[in-house]
Chain A
Amino acid sequence: MTTMTTAPTRPGSMRTDPTTGLTFGGVLRSEWIKLRSLRSTIWSYGLVVAISLGMALLMSLSMVNGMNGGPDAASAPAAQQAGLVVDASVFGVYFGQLVAAVLGVLVISGEYSTGMIRSTLTAVPRRLPALAAKAVILGAATFVVGAIATFSAFAVSSVVFAGIDVTANLLDPAVFLPLLGGALYLSLVSLFALGVGTILRSSAGGIAAVLGILLLLPTVLQMIPADWAQDLVPYLVSIAGMNTFTSTTAEASADGFGVWLNLAIVLGWVAAAGVGAAATLTKRDA
């Protein structure tokens, strides 16, 4: 017997299964596992739905009670009735955006604070696919949760308004479009926050910056007694954002921009944060 007993050393990869490899689909699956395996995600999304339902209940009850002594809302035109129910339904989005913003920051800042980012970027060393996958998963999940929140809030409001015979038809575009718009806005806020969180890499800093831009900036600008400050207000992400899903019911929104221009403004903020995030993520040491 003269068989060779030394095993040849294989060059390159030693993997046993040649069908595996890095793909964008794989990175998407990875980010989905990451998002759903953290408690902060479950809490945040639960809170978005709870806030939406609670605010819809409060708002519609107070509107219904306020109308009892006033003009008979039940005899108002259908469009006006629908507007009342929709406004009550999307009221919670204003508060829900804060939770979506916090979650958006945490999705990336949590990786920096724990060191997970080094594992992420070792598995996806080109880096940008990891950020893109995070954005796709976060945006989609937040949109779905946001839609669950606004549509179930609509169900709650409808029941309350039915007490005074005010009704809205869900199949009416003036009803379902604002509900979808609210969900879309929540999704875009989470993406904006993801971008800011990536640039700042810190949970505290990222949350402070995003909440400052969403909440503080409009108040500060409105307090400045100058025309330019007032002119800037409608271009703020939270102002334009809120107008995307409330202006469909009014004849024209307060700024007269219309839904699409307002949506474009919000997308502009998201894009700016996204470009900043992509640039810093690829340039910096992790």
Chain B
Amino acid sequence: MITAAGLTKRFGAKTAVDDLHFTVHPGRVTGFLGPNGAGKSTTMRMIVGLDRPTGGSVTVNGRRFAEHRAPLHEVGALLDAKAVHTGRTAENHLLAMAATHGIGRRRVREVIELTGLESVARKRVGGFSLGMGQRLGIAAALLGDPATLLLDEPVNGLDPEGVLWVRRLVRHLAGEGRTVFLSSHLMSEMAMTADHLIVVGKGRIITDAPVTEVIANGTSPRVQVRSPQASRLADLLAGPSVTVVRSEAGLLEVTGVEASGIGDLAAAHALAIHELTPKSASLEEAYMALTADAVEYRTEAVR
């Protein structure tokens, strides 16, 4: 359980994290979603005390991270894959991390096997690919068998097999009753992994809700209607909460009315309908709609 109350971080004049209030509950995967520069990483760094909040507080299971007697058993964190000395072997890195908490060699071997690093464990980390570095970071996070996992963009640089592996792993960990807090800027990844979403933009929370709800609320469903009497149907549909877009002759894009409503209306007025297709909102659309105003680095359209 992670609890943030009024969590704020300013770097000089720039506010990276602005008065966040949220709770991450155990037993489910909570996605932390937002565009680059939204304050996700800074928030995660504050949870483990690497960055000091300018205001507010964040606790893990009721205490600030540094106040726990065995921090690695409380929280396992993958903050970025490059938190390892490049001159050291993966195994020695894990042994050194484990030694701080008296965690034995057996557990180090376990996490090496769990993350599939056996063949490179005795190689120096400097030669690792991004994906291997990511696996090593996950191995280090799992060392203390922690009740809470913080994973910042864990699928970055992983191949499809690795992505699938991470997805299964975090689902499994949450299924064991652990708290899993996972950041990403990819909505599609989140939709497949997370149960709950906290969406941030420009340091503020935009939404804090179950994934299904975010998708449902983020966009209004459209219905594609083909009819020889399209103009007449458009006039009948017109209303304050309904938008009708005529893309080509006889084809309407209707938002604000469900397909059944359109069908009933057409039947009541004896209008012919050739096609009636509900278009479910895509996840990316839901996400773009949510964060449209909160994108820090917007790209200009290519001309």
Residues of A at under 8 Å CB distance from B? 7, 9-17, 19-23, 26-27, 29-31, 33-34, 37-40, 110-111, 114-116, 118-119, 121-126, 285-286
Contact = CB atoms under 8 A, between A and B. Distances in A.
A14 B147 contact: yes
Given A121-B50, A122-B77, A33 B96 contact: yes
Contacts of A14: 73, 145-147, 176-178
B85 A114 contact: yes
Given A20-B103, A34-B88, 13 more contacts: A12-B147, A20-B144, A21-B70, A22-B70, A26-B99, A114-B84, A114-B87, A115-B84, A116-B85, A119-B93, A123-B72, A125-B71, A285-B52
Contacts of A39: 87
Contact of B73 (A10, A20, A27, A118): A20
A119 B83 contact: yes
Q: Taking chain B's interface residues, is the majority helix, strand, or loop, or is none over half, making it mixed?
A: loop
A123 B100 contact: yes
A34 B144 CA distance: 19
Contact of A21 (B97, B101, B140): B101
A22 B97 CA distance: 11
B74 A13 contact: yes
B50 A285 contact: yes
Interface string B57-84: 0000100011001111111010110111
29 contacts: A9-B177, A13-B73, A13-B146, A14-B146, A15-B144, A16-B145, A19-B102, A20-B101, A20-B102, A20-B144, A22-B70, A22-B72, A23-B101, A26-B100, A29-B99, A38-B85, A38-B88, A116-B83, A118-B83, A119-B83, A119-B97, A121-B49, A122-B71, A123-B71, A123-B100, A125-B48, A125-B71, A285-B50, A285-B52
A12 B69 CA distance: 12
Interface string B128-155: 0000000000001000111100000000
Given A14-B176, A123-B97, A123-B100, A115 B83 contact: yes
| Residue of A14, A26, A122 with highest tally of chain B CB at under 10 A | A122
Contacts of B92: 33-34, 37
Contacts of B113: none
A15 B61 contact: no
B35 interface: no
| Top 6 A-B residue pairs of the complex, sorted by shortest distance between their CB atoms | A9-B177, A125-B66, A37-B92, A30-B99, A21-B70, A116-B85
Nearest to A133: B100
A18 to B, nearest CB: 9
B86 interface: yes
B296 interface: no
B50 A118 contact: yes
A121 B100 CA distance: 11
B84 A116 contact: yes
Contacts of A22: 69-72, 100-101
B264 interface: no
B65 A125 contact: yes
Interface in B168-220: 176-178
Contact of B100 (A13, A115, A124): A124
A33 B85 CA distance: 13
A13 to B, nearest CB: 5
A52 to B, nearest CB: 25
Nearest to B92: A37
Interface in B87-110: 87-89, 92-93, 95-97, 99-104
A230 to B, nearest CB: 44
